[in-house]
Structure 1
Amino acid sequence: MSRIVWRILSTVPTLAGVLIATFLITRVLPGDPAVFFASNPAMSPEDIERVRAALGLDKSLIDQFWIYLGALRHGDLGLSISTGQPVATEMLTRLPASAELTVFAFLLAIAVSIPLGVAAALKPDSWVDQLCRIIATMGVSVPTFVTGLLLIYLFYYILGVAPEPTGRLDPFMFKPPTVTGFLLIDGPLAGDWATTWAAFKQILLPGLTMAIFALAPLARMTRASMLNVLSSEFIRTARANGLSRRKIVMTYAFRNAMLPVVTSLGMTFSYMLGANVLVEKVFAWPGIGAYAMNSLISLDYAPLQAFMLIMAGIFLAVNLVTDLLAGLVDPRAGLN
């Protein structure tokens, strides 16, 4: 329990560092947001200066930072100069889309990579092992946006079996009543199976794109960890005692091999949070990644700062959950 408290407390300076870094990074970006916002040719230099004053850009960096901290203390993430809406509202509206895509891809990657890695370790140099190596190599060598474009070209343009990559749902369909924000959950809860099926078809290609990205490290780590455990002395002892192959693999080898895999799960999920930015742009997915990318192009400070803070918070939470799961898998790594 003391380690849990220590881990939670250790996130405070990390978040403070992220807060300062994101503020400074957005301020050193080339360009002037006021000029971008006041892009009307009819606006005079005086009008642009009034826009800068309204945005608080005429103050010193220290003053801007204290103003930002004061607003953040009250849960105010600022206003987006691109949409004119509160950033907190925009983030809450778009976060379920990003979360659903990331979780769907993560579960898909786990469902494929762990059985594949185990099978590859049980049959070294077989076709399963070669397939595992090929997938791992492709996952780390092909960028996610390239994978997404290739999948769109093959399944949408060539084969015509995938829907148009225009977001979470066909523009002519209505969303089910919001309960969780996840269309694949809200649809069945509302008994709207047509919308659920349409949402599943829309999420399949972007989810597969991100899953291929996550498959590589998970399959490779599962295979390596299983090979290491299967060569251990206690496994040879279990075989000598006549235990069944299933019991040896599932009861002894698999559980002991899961500790490094669980650690890789946390790291991979964190990497996926960054990968979803490009995937959302390729598939016109209305998540916070695409929102942050559009804000970067328009030099919109507030959404960029909010995005980086949210990603840092999720990253730290994932690391804490990974520690807890590691303690459940192997009590020797438990929290004391």
Structure 2
Amino acid sequence: MTRIGLRVLSAIPTLFGVVVITFLLTRVLPGDPAVFFASNPSMSASDIAAVRENLGLDRPLYDQFLIYLGNLAQGNLGRSIATGQPVAAEFARRLPASAELTLLAFLLAVVVAVPLGLVAALRPGSLVDHAVRLIATLGVSMPTFVSGLLLIHVFYFRAGVLPEPIGRLDPFLFEPARVTGFLTIDALISGEGQVFRAALLQLLLPAVTMALFALAPLARMTRAAMIAALGSDFIRTARAAGLSRGRIVLIYALRNAMLPVVTTMGMVFSYMLGANVLVERVFSWPGIGAFAIDSIVNLDYAPLQGFVLVMAAIFIAVNLVVDIVTVLIDPRAED
């Protein structure tokens, strides 16, 4: 059986393990959701007991778990106590915001990091190489929320060239007709240039914040992989054969160096799914990360469980895509 087939099969027990662990973790969190939502001083002990019964918290733990599994089998992630809406509906509304932010940040990181790593590898020990190392070190050492606050201070408070970080769109503008859920794309489809520009400007600061987080490992891995590839025997043979420098670097060295780079891309993208939680909070971004933080504060079990489950599913899907791309780059990787 191929590596990809094994990866697909291994996803089933992995997801089940995530379901079990998530369920148990939410049940051992300090505090009682019934007491939290029945915080009105006039409510009696019987009222709190009624809230517990309505939430199903009066049932044995195994009974709660079986009910949860049954709901998952029907595609029911539960209902948020804080909003009163089904968790699946809340995620469907909020997931495009998180996806738009994460994908743009990842694209920015790849577009900047790979050329930087390539240039640094071609000139090891040069000023460019040292600059890339400095950028990578800063990107790794600085937390995302600190980077976000610094960018807000510089580009909003000081320079005033970017809008206030209050979400996806200026409150005086109307969202375009929903097609993809990505405001920039939907605005282009609707032909609303002003909305597109406003949505893009709101997206820039949080996307750059996340891109700085992802840029460092990508640039370092690209540099290391290219240096290793350029020092290989087949590259020396290609040079002896009189091939042009551009062909050697872009066709032979870069393709062989892309295997560890693509693997790092998958890892970085998965890490960004967790990093967007803090970024969304800093920039008041209405995504599922901010929704998960609110769920923790409110002791709202269902959204928190759904968030972890969705993130785990996306993480597994990203790893599967990385495996497929790896096989396309080097078929030997399938063995």
How does the TM-score come out when normalised to structure 2?
0.99
Q: Say which SS state the counterpart of residue 286 (structure 1) adopts.
A: coil
Other-structure match for 1:14: 14
How far does residue 311 in structure 1 lie from its aligned partner after superposition? 0.2
Taking the aligned partners of 1:46 and 1:26, their CA distance within structure 2 comes to 24
3-state SS of the aligned residue for 1:205?
helix
Structure 1 residue 6, shift from structure 2 partner = 2.2
Structure 2 equivalent of residue 164 of structure 1? 164
Opposite residue 279 of structure 1, the aligned amino acid is V
Q: CA offset at residue 26 of structure 1?
A: 0.3
Map 1:173-192 to 2 at 5 A.
173-192=173-192
Aligned to 1:243: 243
In structure 2, the partner of 1:233 is 233
Quote the Cα distance in structure 1 between the aligned partners of 2:81 and 2:187: 34
User: For residues 1-336 of structure 1, what are the structure 2 equivalents within 5 Å?
Assistant: 2-334=2-334
Measure the CA separation in 1 of the matches of 2:330 and 2:128.
28
| In structure 2, C-alpha distance between the alignment counterparts of 1:116 and 1:331, rounded to whole Å | 27
Aligned partners of 2:78 and 2:328: how far apart in 1?
41
Distance 1:155 1:4 in 2: 45
How far apart, in 2, do the equivalents of 1:303 and 1:170 lie?
27
AA matched with 2:325:
L
Paired AA for residue 218 in structure 2: L
Percent identity for Structure 1 against Structure 2: 66
In the alignment, the residues of structure 1 paired with residue 103 and residue 189 of structure 2 have an alpha-carbon distance, to the nearest angstrom, of: 19
Give the whole-Å Cα distance in 1 for the aligned partners of 2:277 and 2:31: 22
- Once superposed, what is the RMSD of the aligned Cα atoms? 0.9
Q: Structure 1, residues 209-267: CA drift from partner, whole Å, max 9, x if none?
A: 00000001000000000000111111111111211100110111000000000000000
Q: Which amino acid aligns with 1:231?
A: G
**2 CA distance for matches of 1:119 and 1:329?**
22
One-letter amino acid matched to 1:159: A
CA distance in 2, matches of 1:6, 1:143: 36
In structure 2, how many angstroms separate the alpha carbons of the residues matched to 1:2 and 1:232? 29
Q: CA deviation at 1:4?
A: 2.7
1:42 deviation in Å?
Answer: 1.0
- Once residues 326 and 197 of structure 1 are traced to their aligned partners in structure 2, the CA distance between those partners, rounded to angstroms, is 36
1:75 aligns to what SS in structure 2?
coil
- Partner deviation per Cα, 1:168-221 (whole Å, 9 max, x = no partner): 101111111111111121111111111111111000000000000000100000
Structure 1's unaligned 5+ residue stretches are none
Provide the rounded CA distance (Å) in 2 between the counterparts of 1:127 and 1:262.
26
What's the CA shift string for 1:245-303, capped at 9, x where partnerless?
A: 00110111000000000000000000000000000000000000000000000100000
CA displacement 1:112-152 (0-9 Å, x = unmatched): 00000000000111221112101110111000000000000
Q: Distance in 2 between matches of 1:27 and 1:225?
A: 45
What are the ranges of 5 or more consecutive residues in structure 2 without an aligned counterpart? none
CA separation in 1, counterparts of 2:135 and 2:296?
33
Worse-superposed segment, 221-230 or 236-245: 236-245
2-side partners of 1:2 and 1:218: how far apart?
A: 28
Q: Aligned partners of 1:235, 1:314: CA distance in 2, in Å?
A: 38
Q: For this pair of structures, how many residues does the alignment match?
A: 335
Q: How far is 1:331 from its partner?
A: 1.8
Comparing 266-275 with 185-194, greater Cα deviation is found at 185-194
Distance 1:129 1:186 in 2: 40
